[in-house]
Structure 1
Amino acid sequence: MLHRVEGIVIRSMDYGEGNVIITLCTENAGKVGVLVRGAKKVKSRHAALIQLFTVGQFVFFRTNGGLGTLNSGEIIHSHHPLREDLIKAAYASYACELLDRVLHDDETGSFWFRQLSACLNALQDNKEPSVIINVYEMKILQTAGYGPQLDGCVICGEEKPDEQLLLSPRLGGVLCRSCKHNDPPAMEVSPRALKLLRLFARLDLNRLGNVDVKESTREELKLIMRAFMDMQLGLKLKSQNFLDQLDKYNI
């Protein structure tokens, strides 16, 4: 059967001599794999379509829900600037790999497609990459059913002043100090960081403006979101390791 979809290339893998299998996050058909024959050959007309972060119209044959075979395609947004910048490419790769690991094959992908598209656009528009990724991670957690509870204490439900709250990635939200014994390693959190986390939980990436966050708060948010992602999803991502290396060398 012939399919026509709008999709974003979130993974590209060499297959055989000159062929490539791309994984697409599509707006209406979920996540699909498509074989692109001869894509690695010098004169291939599909060479540009297999690049990570590329948004395009893809036409492919597919039977019985298996691997598709590309017939034709047209680029909508190449996102070429993302691939030229080491920092942007690292964050964009993380966004794509994270979605690839969370999104199941053929799962309805409209929301995921919109959020990833907004994430890539924001990175290309030079918005603060760590803030963009934190908002994106929050959307991933929420849609996967692990969105943190950021108002009332996850144990007693009471709403306390921000200065009296901790964060418990293990329990999935804020923890008042009276309930700290339920999770002694719960993290300290500044009122500023907690306010931003609540903003991230409400915010749609498509409406993300230029959020001014000082460096110390960005570092705090990075640690908090990493703790939640590790505890709630437990994914080991190659792109995350690369981001850690960039942090290590202050790149």
Structure 2
Amino acid sequence: MLDRVEAIVIKTVDYGETNKIITLYTKERGKIGVMARGAKKPKSQLSAVSQPFIYGSYVIYKGSGLGTLNQGDPIKTFRKVREDLVNASYAMYMAELIDKLTEENKRYMWLFDWYYLCLVHMEEGADPEVLTRIFEMKMLDVAGISPQLEKCVCCGSHDDPQAFSIRYGGFICRRCIDKDTHAFPCSMQTVRLLRLFYDMNLHRLGNISLKAETKQELKQIIRAYYDEYSGVVLKSRRFLDQLDRMNLGPNIDT
């Protein structure tokens, strides 16, 4: 049976001397894996559409096992993302999050649009680190591990949060802060940004420029939360850490 889907390539694995197994995140069916026969050959028609971050229209033959890619036509190549080391590294991290946190052939509402729009904004010059923090917050719902962001996770108070508790899974107020001595203190800007990123409509993303200290605060909280609750280990995250140590991360702070 032939099936046509629109999809973004989120993963590629060499298979044998000439083939690739590629993972597509599709609009219609969620995540699917397909065999791209001959895609490693430079003159193959499938070579160009089997690269990471390519958004295209794909024709797949679906049998009883792994599908086979019959044809692909690129819609948007995201060349500026793929050719920039920092952008490509953050885009690969997002792709790995999708791959690790989703099931095969299960469609997650809005996820295709989230990733596509992050790539679009990245190509237009948006800070890839900020886009990644937004994407991480939105993926928490996909993973089924959403934190409590609207009130104190311990007492239910709507007073201004003072810290974020990994142990209890959300913000805690001044009266409850002693219940978790390891909670991350939060500035009000970080509180607002965590809430904003979780609910943000990426179609309406404006110009978000953050100070280095704010980025670091967000990164520490979100990373610790993923480490505690997601159960995934991401190879791409280690590479991002290497970029940071070499000072090759995005240099757009104000």
State the TM-score, normalizing by the size of structure 1.
0.95
Q: Does 1:85 align with 2:84?
A: yes
Displacement of 1:44 in angstroms is 0.7
Relative to structure 1, the CA distance from residue 98 to residue 30 in structure 2 (aligned partners, 3 Å threshold; closer, same or farther) is same
**1:166–1:87: structure 2 CA closer, same or farther, 3 Å change rule?**
same
1:199 match = 196
Whole-angstrom CA distance in 2 between matches of 1:110 and 1:161: 31
Structure 1 pair 127–151 and aligned structure 2 pair: CA distance change class (3 A):
same
Distance apart, 1:145 and its partner CA? 2.2
Equivalent-residue separation in structure 2 for 1:144 and 1:53 (angstroms): 22
- What TM-score do the two structures reach when normalised by structure 2? 0.93
**1:173: which partner in 2?**
170
- Map residues 1-251 of structure 1 onto 2, 5 A cutoff: 1-64=1-64, 66-162=65-161, 165-251=162-248
Q: List alignment gaps of at least 5 residues for structure 2.
A: 249-254
Matched-pair identity in %: 45
* Contact 1:28 1:109 survives alignment (8 Å): no
Deviations 1:30-55 (A, max 9, x none): 11111111111121111111100000
Offset of 1:222 from its aligned partner?
Answer: 1.4
Distance in 1 separating the partners of 2:155 and 2:197: 24
Count of matched residue positions in the alignment of Structure 1 and Structure 2: 248
Structure-1 separation of matches of 2:190 and 2:105: 36
CA deviation after TM superposition for structure 1 residue 110, in Å: 4.6
- Which amino acid is 1:136 matched to? F
Q: 1:208-236 CA deviation, whole Å, 9 max, x = no partner?
A: 11112222211211111111221221321
Find the aligned partners of 1:109 and 1:17 in 2 and give their Cα distance.
34
Q: Give the whole-Å Cα distance in 1 for the aligned partners of 2:57 and 2:179.
A: 51
User: What per-residue deviation string (whole Å, max 9, x for no partner) do you get for residues 68-106 of structure 1?
Assistant: 111111000111111111100110000001100001001
Whether the 8 Å contact between 2:39 and 2:45 is mirrored in structure 1 is yes
Distance in 2 between the 1:129 and 1:42 partners? 30
Letter in 2 for 1:16: G
Give the SS at the match of 1:142: helix
Gaps of 5+ in 1: none
Distance in 1 between residues matched to 2:199 and 2:94, nearest whole Å: 19
Post-superposition, which runs of at least 4 consecutive aligned residues in structure 1 deviate over 3 A? none
- Decide whether the 8 Å contact of 1:28 with 1:110 is kept in 2: no
- How far, CA to CA, are the matches of 1:53 and 1:60 in structure 2? 18
